[in-house]
Structure 1
Amino acid sequence: MKATIWHNPKCGTSRKTLAILENLSGIDLEVIEYLKRPPTREKLAQLYADAGIAPKDGLRLRGTDAEERGLPQANADAILEAMVSDPILIERPLVETEKGVRLCRPQDRVLEIL
């Protein structure tokens, strides 16, 4: 099975999710450090749609200026645009497999799509 993780190596939950994926056999894993290679607006919208969540549910508040920018109250388009231009606003980790997409907080949520 192919799995793609949008990963931040500085994030403990992201590292734990990556460890789960690395320790499973039969996983063809792609690791994308999204702060270095952010997803496109279209890809981000698709990931949230496939996860069944709204962009605001994938908005990282902790350690960002999202609140000051009014993003929690913004519409989906404004949130996606902000995330693409400033990927630190993307909550992590997002994992995509053929079975779906999950925002893996907590990290065990990844098991739902394996």
Structure 2
Amino acid sequence: MTNPSKPWDGELVRKWLARRFEVSRLDQAAADRRGYEARDDYDKAAAEEWACRALKDADCTNDQAAFATRLKELIGQDDYPATSTYDDVRFERHVRTHLRKIAKMAKANEGFEKTLRHQ
């Protein structure tokens, strides 16, 4: 699971999650200003915010195996409670998509160093 040449860095993971959390809030505001045609973009950004909020302050970020276990638990949830989304089904699909993306990054231990706004 771990790449021997690159040790797990919990601080880097938390930093990446915090930055993605902030970016998702900015993306929600931008989609909200664009109006009706940007509802999917709003739900996508809200889903990323939900996923990052659920993980960014968790203690499991210090250990790669514990982080992967937490991601599996979140992906297996039946619903993801959130307010002010346009389409709950679409929102939940986007949450699972973001969680799977983070799970792939955690498994490969790659991508957390990319902190630019657009990924």
Q: Does the TM-score normalized on the shorter chain lie above 0.5?
A: no
| Structure-1-length-normalised TM-score | 0.29
Larger radius of gyration: 2
Q: Which has the higher strand share?
A: 1
| Structure-2-length-normalised TM-score | 0.28
Q: Which has the higher helix share?
A: 2
